[in-house]
Amino acid sequence: MTGPVPHKKVEFWDDERKLGNSLIVTLVRGWKFNEDVMAVEHVLGFDTKAEALNAVRASVQCDCKDCAISAKDDAPTLSI
């Protein structure tokens, strides 16, 4: 189930807690969760809305390959 997006950095907000899953948050391209410095996490599951919002607020700008490609969608050249 996709609910209303509570933050401008959130692309998808899937509250699947009623299904026994997590509250799954997908960040807008160009942002990543700052939970784990060793990994790039654009999507994370949470137990509570407060926890999810805290993580969204703590998110940082991301320049990983995926985000960089997305940011350059308008560019005519794209090397893979």
Q: Does residue number 68 form part of the binding site for Zn ion (CB under 5 A)?
A: no
Q: Does residue number 67 form part of the binding site for Zn ion (CB under 5 A)?
A: yes
Binding residues for Zn ion restricted to 21-50, rule: CB under 5 A: none
Backbone conformation region of residue 51, classed left if phi is above 0, alpha if psi is from -120 to 50, else beta: alpha
Q: What's the longest Cα–Cα distance across the chain?
A: 45
Q: Does residue number 62 form part of the binding site for Zn ion (CB under 5 A)?
A: yes
In DSSP notation, 30-70 reads TEEB-S-TTS-BSEEEESSHHHHHHHHHT-EE--SHHHHHH
Q: Does residue number 71 form part of the binding site for Zn ion (CB under 5 A)?
A: no
Q: Does residue number 64 form part of the binding site for Zn ion (CB under 5 A)?
A: yes
Q: CB of residue 33 vs Zn ion: minimum separation in angstroms?
A: 10
**Residues of the shown chain interacting with Zn ion in the complex, contacts defined by CB under 5 A:** 62, 64, 67
